[in-house]
């Protein structure tokens, strides 16, 4: 597919996803920006082509939407802030499109900065799905967990045990936590223990987000769709928790990091390699190297030093995400649940 056709289709596909996932404001915003591109307006000058990976995989529309939201959040353009949620209830095309066309020119340098790097969403509600896997690992091993997360970004989901959850009929965690997560658990959900011990938490990302940097915090907030107030509140609560005690997130290649972390079995803990909606963005060589490392480390695992691979990812196009768990020794893979990509619901299968 020619670059321009792929770019156009990436915007149309993201519009469909935004409508499907409950952000009509972002959907209408992206429609307007695509139309400006098709009309050879300022969008065409800002984004004449895309010369990196596939535009859909690189999430070009979300890079742009994040940049525009950052402008609204920054307060540099009060007239834009007034037209964005929560100040505005819906997308007012007549008012906002002419303003956006001007800002595409006036703020081109800032927007190109957003276009240069992939979005980092840190969707904390995915922990409502992952916690079922953590509980399964703790039950099977009887050991505290040593968490190793790839694609960790700011490391917010490494703090999952400090959130409060309402999961169907179950509640879990600190009721006073600034992160309040609600998810509809269906099927036969796992019974969560009163506590799940975490011995260590560490992450990896190509470009970790430093929450001590106000601009990095702004960027993180900008990737939450503006008409989804509950997601924004969860993110802000998780940032508050993280700033009280930042989990370490190492910069670098995921496969090399995993190889270092799993080089030797760790006795007395269950080592957990975890990731959520990350795998599809890794190069195939990186995926293969991680799988090879896991196979080798799994062969060395013992009951005193077990290894788990917990992941919430997409395995079939158009289907929900799946939560899968592989546990060594043994190496049995289990599909624990199907889930909404943001964690709004989980259908438990195991």
pLDDT digit string (tens) for the chain, length 350 residues: 457 899 999 999 999 999 998 999 999 999 999 999 999 999 999 999 887 778 877 889 999 999 999 999 999 999 999 999 999 999 999 999 999 999 999 999 999 999 998 888 778 999 999 999 999 999 999 999 999 999 999 999 999 999 999 999 999 999 999 999 999 999 999 989 999 999 999 999 998 988 889 999 999 999 999 999 999 999 999 999 988 888 899 999 999 999 999 999 999 999 999 999 999 889 999 999 999 999 999 999 999 999 999 999 999 877 899 999 999 999 999 999 999 998 999 999 97
Cα 247 to Cα 52: distance, rounded to the nearest angstrom: 31
Both tokens of 86, joined, read 């929560």
Q: Is the pTM of this model over 0.85?
A: yes
Rg (CA), the chain: 21
Beta carbons within 8 Å of 199's beta carbon, 6+ residues apart: 144, 145, 146, 268, 269
Q: What is the DSSP string of 132-178?
A: HHHHHHHHHH-S-EEEEEES-TT-GGGGGGGSEEEETTEEEE-TT-S
pLDDT, residue 117, reads 86
Paired strand residues for 312:
276, 323
């Amino acid at each position: 597919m020619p670059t321009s056709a792929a770019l156009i289709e990436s915007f149309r596909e993201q519009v469909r996803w935004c409508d499907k996932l409950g952000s009509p404001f972002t959907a209408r915003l992206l429609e307007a920006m695509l139309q400006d591109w098709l009309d050879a307006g300022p969008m065409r000058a800002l984004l004449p082509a895309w010369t990196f990976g596939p535009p859909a995989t690189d999430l070009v529309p979300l890079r742009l939407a994040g940049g525009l939201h950052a402008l609204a959040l920054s307060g540099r353009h009060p007239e834009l802030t007034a037209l964005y949620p929560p100040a505005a209830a819906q997308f007012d095309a007549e008012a906002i499109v002419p303003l956006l066309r001007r800002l595409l020119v006036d703020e081109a340098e800032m927007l190109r900065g957003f276009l240069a790097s992939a979005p980092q969403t840190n969707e904390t509600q995915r922990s409502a799905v992952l916690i079922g896997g953590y509980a399964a690992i703790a039950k099977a091993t009887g050991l505290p967990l040593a968490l190793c997360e790839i694609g960790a970004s700011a490391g917010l989901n490494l703090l999952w045990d400090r959130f409060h959850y309402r999961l169907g009929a179950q509640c879990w965690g600190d009721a006073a936590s600034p992160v309040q997560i609600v998810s509809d658990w269906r099927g036969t959900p796992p019974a969560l223990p009163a506590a799940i011990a975490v011995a260590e938490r560490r992450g990896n990302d190509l470009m970790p987000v430093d929450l001590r940097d106000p601009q990095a915090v702004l960027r993180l907030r900008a990737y939450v769709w503006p008409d989804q107030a509950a997601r924004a509140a969860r993110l802000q609560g998780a940032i508050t928790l993280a700033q009280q005690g930042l989990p370490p997130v190492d910069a670098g290649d995921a496969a090399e990091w995993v190889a270092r972390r799993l080089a030797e079995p760790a006795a007395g803990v269950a080592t957990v390699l975890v990731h959520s909606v990350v795998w599809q963005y890794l190069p195939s060589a990186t995926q293969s190297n991680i799988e090879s490392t896991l196979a080798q480390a799994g062969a060395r695992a013992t009951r005193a030093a077990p290894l788990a691979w917990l992941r919430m990812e997409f395995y079939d196009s158009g289907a929900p995400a799946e939560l899968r768990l592989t546990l060594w020794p043994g190496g049995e893979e289990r599909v624990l649940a199907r889930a909404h990509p943001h964690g709004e619901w989980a259908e438990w299968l195991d």
